[in-house]
Every structure is written in C-alpha cells, then in structure tokens.
Amino acid sequence: MKHIFNKGTNPEAPTLLLLHGTGGTEHDLLGLAELISPESNVLSVRGNVLENGMPRFFRRLAEGVFDEQDLILRTAELNDFIDEAAAEHGFDRDNVVAVGYSNGANIAGSLLFHYEHSLKGAILHHPMVPRRGIDVPAMNGLPVFIGAGKNDPICPAAETEELSTILEGAGADVEIHWENYGHQLTRSEVDKAGDWFKRRF
Ligand code: MLT
C-alpha cells in the first residue's frame, strides 16, 4: 500500500498507524502524530479504494452504507500490510496504535473487529460501527479513545455509544470524548487524544 514511514526516536514507543478520512492521503494526519507522540515511528497509509477520485480504505454503497465484502477484504489487506511493513521497516508488530479519522477510524475499528492483537490500542476520531452481528475477538484491557460529535450527522451519538458498548463487551477500555462540531476533527479533540495517549502508553 502507498505509505510514509517515519522512524521515531524512541523504539519503545508504540508505532502510530495513521489512517486518513475519505478524500485524504497519507500526508493528512502526520501533524496529529507529532501532537500525540512525537517520539513514535509513524506508518501513514493511503487507502487503496478510489471513490470519484477520493482515496478511501473500503468501498461503500451509499453514505454510511458499507460494502461489507469489500470491508472484509480491505481489512485483511491492511492487516497483512502492517505485518509486511513491520518486517520491512523493523518496528514491533505487536506495538502498533491506530490513529484514524472517519473512514480511517472505521477501518481501524474493523481491524479490532476482525483480528485479535492487530492493534495495541486505537484513537478513533468520529468512527461508526464497522459491522454488526459478528462475534468480535477478545480485547482484554485494550485502550480505545473515541472522539465523537454529539451532533455528528454522519455518525450519530447513538452509534458512537453502540460502538463503545460492543468494544467494552469484548473487554476494551473505552474512553469517549464528546464535542459539538459535527463530523469535524477539532484541535481540542486531538489534544484530548494526546492526553489520553500519554496516560495509557
Ligand atoms: C465511511 O464511509 O467510512 C463513513 O461514512 C465516513 C466517511 O468516510 O464519510
């Protein structure tokens, strides 16, 4: 997958896996990594799907309606890619924390829903429930930060709560930070994610 890898100064710090929103690129979230954990390795990936020229991590049938088969396939592809990138760039595959926004948060959630130990933790900005009606793997104590908008038209507050309930049901340790700026990723939300990261890692 097209990506940027920046080697960090602290080999013990988790590698941050950056996953952009629809229409973004691997450059978009580099600033977030600086704010969250400047010492970390950064693996920033571009989604392989194009929707009217806009990169995404998986196909959708309509706004908020995911192409489930493609989601499953693309989640496997991303999980394999992280394995390959760890071997190529020499980082610890078992110490990867995802930072995703919107579509990127949704594929990060899908990694957690499909692959045990795929992530050490996750910062999910404005995520949705990636799939329903499946058994999710155990996430014993896995730290998850969710940044959400009370008035997010793409991800309603009830869906945020639903996602949190599913993750907690699998044993994840979830913290939700609420904002009132719709689907926007705000600086204050990123700062909260950074504070959370410093407490957890
Ligand atoms: C998605 O398709 O993943 C969500 O609707 C978020 C978005 O990308 O707009």
Determine the pLDDT at residue 58: 98
Determine the pLDDT at residue 144: 98
Mean pLDDT, residues 162-187: 98
CATH architecture classification, 3-200:
3-Layer(aba) Sandwich (3.40)
Structure tokens at 65: 């309606």
Closest to 185 in 3D by CA, of 2, 39, 3, 18: 18
Calculate how far, in angstroms, residue 150's C-alpha sits from the geometric centre of ligand 1. 17
Could you report the predicted ipTM of this complex, rounded to two decimals? 0.95
Calculate how far, in angstroms, residue 21's C-alpha sits from the geometric centre of ligand 1. 7
Domains of the chain, by residue range, sit at 3-200
What is the C-alpha end-to-end distance of the chain, expressed in Å? Answer: 27
Calculate how far, in angstroms, residue 9's C-alpha sits from the geometric centre of ligand 1. 33
CA–CA distance, 111 with 70 (Å, rounded to integer)? 13
Catalytically active residues are: 102, 152, 183
CA–CA distance, 69 with 75 (Å, rounded to integer)? 10
Contact 149, 184 (CB under 8 A): yes
pLDDT digits (tens, 9 = 90+) for 25-55: 999 999 999 999 999 999 999 999 999 999 9
Mean pLDDT, residues 6-16: 97
Confidence class for position 113, pLDDT limits 50, 70, 90 = very high
CA–CA distance, 6 with 1 (Å, rounded to integer)? 15
Question: Which atom of ligand 1 is nearest to 126's Cα?
Answer: 6
CA 123 to chain centre: 6
pLDDT digits (tens, 9 = 90+) for 48-101: 999 999 999 999 999 889 999 999 999 999 999 999 999 999 999 999 999 999
Determine the pLDDT at residue 33: 98
CA 50 to chain centre: 19
- How much of the chain, in percent, has pLDDT values that exceed 70? 100
- Whether ligand 1 lies within 6 angstroms of the CB of 90 is answered as no
